[in-house]
Amino acid sequence: MRRAVCPGSFDPVTNGHVDVITRAAALYDELVVAVLVNPGKAGLFDVTERMALIGDAVSGLANVTVDSFDGLLVDWCRRNDVPVIVKGLRAVGDFEYELQMAQMNRELAEVETVFMPTAPQVGHLSSSLVKQIARFGGDVSSLVPPAVNDRLVRVAGGRP
């Protein structure tokens, strides 16, 4: 069985994330979307809510599950027998950072990393930009799944 993990903070999950998750799910028998628990960073949504929003966004993908992790991702990979990390790339800057991480993960735990470029129509999306637009009342409904938009309208003050 081919298994992979798609990790991230997903605060919140965007249509760019969903693009990568959907395409990765087509390549693996099982894909786990793993939400990073970072106690040193306060997110807009707590981990439980991020997991629920991701679950809603990928509910049509039968081979995708959602989990969370803290600490080193490679430790989570070893515990869960997942040999591949899938990382979405938006731009060259993403690649430079993710390449170092991939090399370190390979050295630490022999976990491979597969890079997947986002589709051009969602390559500009980031959770940080989406949150900023929503905080200033901008319409993010075309940038995030419907459930995320609904929550952003209530939490960040965005418009439907």
* CATH number for the domain harbouring residue 69: 3.40.50.620
- Determine whether 127 is an active site residue: yes
Contact (CB, 8 A) for 14 and 50: no
Quick one: pLDDT at residue 42? 75
- Domain range spanning residue 143? 3-157
17 counts as catalytic: yes
Instruction: Quote the number of domains for the chain.
Output: 1
Q: Do the Cβ atoms of 28 and 63 come closer than 8 Å?
A: yes
pTM recorded for the entire structure:
0.93
Spot the catalytic one: 17, 50, 131, 151.
Answer: 17
Give, for all 160 residues of the chain, the pLDDT tens digit: 899 999 999 999 999 999 999 999 999 999 999 999 987 777 899 999 999 999 999 999 999 999 999 999 999 999 999 999 999 999 888 899 999 999 999 999 999 999 999 999 999 999 999 999 998 989 999 999 999 999 998 886 655 4
Looking at 3, 23, 78, 90, which residue is catalytic? 90
**Would you call 131 a catalytic residue per the annotation?**
no
Q: Note whether 105 and 115 are within 8 A (CB).
A: no
- Contact residues for 121 (Cβ-Cβ < 8 A; gap 6+): none
E strand map for 19-100: 30-36, 64-69, 84-89
pLDDT, residue 160, reads 47
